[in-house]
Amino acid sequence: MIKSQSVTWAACISPRQWKHEKHPPPRFCTGPCRKISEWLTFDNMHHQWLLLAACFWVIFMFMVASKFITLTFKDPDGAFPSIEEIPENVVHDHEKNGLPRLSSFSNAEIQKRLKTYFKFFIVRDPFERLISAFKDKFVHNPRFEPWYRHEIAPGIIRKYRRNRTETRGIQFEDFVRYLGDPNHRWLDLQFGDHIIHWVTYVELCAPCEITYSVIGHHETLEDDAPYILREAGIDHLVSYPTIPPGITVYNRTKVERYFLGISKRDIRRLYARFQGDFKLFGYQKPDFLLN
More confident position, 113 or 87: 113
Q: Binning pLDDT at 50, 70 and 90, where does residue 39 land?
A: very low
Q: Binning pLDDT at 50, 70 and 90, where does residue 31 land?
A: very low
> What digits encode the pLDDT tens for the residues 261-274?
999 999 999 999 99
- Taking 80 as the threshold, does the pLDDT of residue 9 lie above it? no
CA nearest neighbour of 274 among 173, 176, 207, 188:
176
Provide the pLDDT for residue 176: 98
Most confident range (mean pLDDT) of 7-16, 85-94, 244-253 is 244-253
Lowest-confidence pick of 127-136, 202-211, 250-259: 202-211
> What digits encode the pLDDT tens for the residues 171-201?
999 999 999 999 998 888 888 878 889 999 9
Q: Binning pLDDT at 50, 70 and 90, where does residue 80 land?
A: low
Provide the pLDDT for residue 256: 97
- Taking 90 as the threshold, does the pLDDT of residue 135 lie above it? yes
Provide the pLDDT for residue 205: 85
Answer whether 50's CB lies under 8 Å from 102's CB.
yes
What is the spatial order of strands in the sheet that 2-3 belongs to?
Answer: 2-3, 214-217, 120-123
- Taking 70 as the threshold, does the pLDDT of residue 221 lie above it? yes
How crowded is residue 201: how many other Cβ atoms within 10 Å of its Cβ?
A: 23
Answer whether 179's CB lies under 8 Å from 259's CB.
no
